[in-house]
Amino acid sequence: MNYKRFLFAILILLIIISGIYFIGRENPNNSVSSPEPSNNSEVTKSEGSEFLMDTLVRVRIHDENSEQVLDEVLNKLSYLEDIFSKTIEDSDINKINLNAGVKPVKVNEETYKLLEETNKFAKITDGVFDPTIGPLVSLWGIGTEEEQLPSEKKIKETIERVEYKKIEFQENNKIFLAEKDMSIDLGAIAKGYAADYVISYLNEKDVDSAFINMGGNVSVHRDKVDGSLWNIGIQDPVRNRGNIIAAVEGEDISVVTSGNYERFFIEDGVRYHHIINPETGYPARKGIISSTVISNNSSYADALSTSFYILGVEKSFEIAQEMEDVNIVLLTKDDKAYVSEELKGQITFTVDDLEIIYR
């Protein structure tokens, strides 16, 4: 009798242990929580990661409600991906693209706002930043199975379908792409917009501290829990991922890098990457191999880092110097780093084979 009870108890124990194991594995956000050693004993840390917006998004929240905040942040990011993605079938962007030249489409408020933002950057950069870059992105197919070096003729034809002025903003959050076969691609700004969106939620909830990493886009909310500043690395464009060329210190900032190492293919010794100059129809070739923008505003940092990559050193400094809170680090093929003067004291270079030029 006792023996049977013993076996029964073992069986129950096994069921409980395997239950815990599977619940742990099926946690959809892949998140973990732990108490944070700090002055405030209530503060806990929660970390989570998810593949969103074509990149591995990693989020770290320090707050007394860190777990709920983390869940909400990941939900918000997933919502934005659902409306901004050009591959998700019923996303706002896909609906606009499918109805190009046919009819206006009613979109979510966030999509309308983001498209208005893109208009602003297109104007600042004289059309170098162009959210209707879609047809050229598809033609090159960089990072997809269809990547190819297109013919000159095809490139010339496709450029004709890229023109941000043909996005019509109508009442009631309606967007109309004026011509057939045009398409919108928000790859150059969506992550920055998403980071700002999340940061504004963290402010609203008065969250203690947070770190958001979306590939080349890093944003921090406030300072670290111990009161020190965050250190954000700038990826080395030549060496493997994880190696940095510099670290930027700060709180409440966003550091966004565009580089030719993100997505590319090589043909006859030439590297064709994913940042396309809408004037030529070819991947940008102004001597820059990585362009970083540091700003409080992540949409600015994202849109401008892509634009500066195309514009080259001179024009980029001209634009950045006219704007408040836009500082840059441009790395060129000839191992030079052109750095905004304002970053002196805030940036530390960790490699010694770069010539550093403050301006």
Q: How far is the CB of 214 from Mg ion (least distance, A)?
A: 11
Q: Which does 129 bind (CB under 5 to 8 A by kind): ligand AMP, Mg ion, none?
A: ligand AMP
* CA–CA dist 330, 304 (Å, integer): 12
* The one among 291, 306, 316, 340 contacting Mg ion by CB under 5 A: 306
Q: Which of 276, 288, 337, 343 binds ligand AMP (CB under 6 A)?
A: 276
Q: Counting contacts by CB under 6 A, is residue 235 touching ligand AMP?
A: no
Who's near 267: CB < 8 A, 6+ residues apart?
Answer: 149
Task: Based on the shown chain and the rule CB under 6 A, indicate whether residue 254 belongs to the binding site for ligand AMP.
Answer: no
Binding flag, residue 29, Mg ion (CB under 5 A): no
Binding of residue 209 to Mg ion (CB under 5 A): no
CB 254 within 8 A of CB 305: no
Phi, psi of 337 (to 5 degrees): -120, 115
Q: Are 276 and 284 in contact (CB under 8 A)?
A: yes
Residue 196 binds Mg ion (CB under 5 A): no
130 contributes a contact to Mg ion by CB under 5 A: no
* Residue from 36, 63, 117, 130 in contact with ligand AMP (CB under 6 A): 130
Looking at 52, 114, 188, 347, which residue binds Mg ion (CB under 5 A)? Answer: 188
DSSP symbol at 276: B
The token pair that represents 178 in the structure block? 């004026």
Task: Identify the sign of the CA torsion 219, 223, 226, 231.
Answer: positive
Largest CA distance in the chain: 87
Least distance (Å) between residue 186 CB and ligand AMP: 8
Q: Which one, 125 or 306, has the nearer CB to Mg ion?
A: 306
Per residue in 315-349, is it b (16+ CB within 10 Å) or e — as a string?
bbbebbeeeeebbbbbbbeeeebbbbebbeeebee
44 binds ligand AMP (CB under 6 A): no
Choose the binding region for ligand AMP from 70-78, 131-139, 197-205, 206-214 (rule: CB under 6 A). 131-139
Residues lying near ligand AMP in the complex (CB under 6 A) are found at 128-131, 133, 137, 185, 187-188, 258, 262, 274-276, 278, 302, 306, 310
